[in-house]
Amino acid sequence: MSKLLQERWMRLAFAPNSTTVELNEAHPNSKIYDKCQDGWKKKPGAKRGAKGSCIPEADESHHDETDELQEQDENFMGAIAAAAADGKDEVEIDGEIFPVEMEDETVEAITGEKPKDSVDEAISRWYSLINEDGFDKEKKDKMKCNSPRRLRKGEPGHGEKSKVVKACDPGSDKESIVKFGDPDMPIQSHHADNKASFRARHKCDDKSMDKDWNKAGYWSCKEW
């Protein structure tokens, strides 16, 4: 076969509508495929050297769209998880702002990292480190040891508890801010029956300053 004829034959063999290709020494990896009908497309075999199959072109495009949507979802979830791991409250994705709302376990599963506290939580945690139950050192120092008083409006615990005391351990220099008492339950220790009932329910006779100096129950019993 002349060189010119060989070149023409190769062009025909590899044309888009060709049903076969030539197997020769020049093309050892060439495969012979059957022609797929209109609307179908050749899908290579799963293993090397395996014969391919024909699949509907519509199905392939559907799979492509599904894969693309799945990839977009994974990217979106990944961005949310990464923002949560950094302690952010919101994140910008494709020009839109999204709130960062994801369970800690999900964040750790996606990123491999435990989520950091958000800015507000970090500030709150920092504030709690330099304050004891919301009472800063200056206010705490001005309070008298073991002298209960009513919680003032604006103080931490107001509306939840009725009184506060700077409890001081009689056997050491330990101090603790203790809030106690139900703000909706007035003390009626002047009524013998009420007093006896309260002290019995809370086992007040079993409480003492030595072991319960920093417990709300002890200070409530003292009021009764």
**Residues 168, 102: Cα–Cα separation, whole Å:** 43
Element (H, E) at 99: strand 96-99
Q: Side by side, which strands form the sheet with 149-150?
A: 149-150, 163-168, 175-180
Place of tokens 């990292």: 113
- Give 162-213 pLDDT, tens digit per residue: 999 999 999 898 999 999 999 988 888 889 999 999 999 999 999 999 999 9
**Residues 179, 216: Cα–Cα separation, whole Å:** 6
Confidence of residue 24 (pLDDT cuts 50, 70, 90): very low
Alpha-carbon separation of residue 146 from 66, 85, 207, 219, 221 (angstroms): 69, 44, 15, 9, 14
pLDDT at 210: 93
pLDDT at 95: 84
Tokens of 172: 């050491």
**Residues 164, 157: Cα–Cα separation, whole Å:** 9
- Give 37-82 pLDDT, tens digit per residue: 777 777 776 655 566 677 777 655 555 666 666 777 778 888 888 8
| Neighbouring C-beta atoms of residue 194, cutoff 10 Å | 14
Residue bearing the bigger pLDDT, 16 or 93: 93
Residues 6 or more apart whose Cβ sits within 8 Å of residue 19: 33, 34, 35
pTM comes to 0.42
- Give 84-138 pLDDT, tens digit per residue: 888 787 888 888 888 887 888 888 888 887 776 655 566 655 555 445 566 777 7
pLDDT at 131: 52
Tokens of 200: 């019995």
Q: In this structure, which amino acid lies at residue 137?
A: K
**Residues 119, 98: Cα–Cα separation, whole Å:** 17
pLDDT of residue 217 exceeding 60, the answer is yes
Exposed / middle / buried, residue 107 (Cβ in 10 Å: 0-12, 13-18, 19+):
buried
For the residues of 125-146, what is the DSSP string, one character each? HHHHHHSBTTB-HHHHHHSPBT
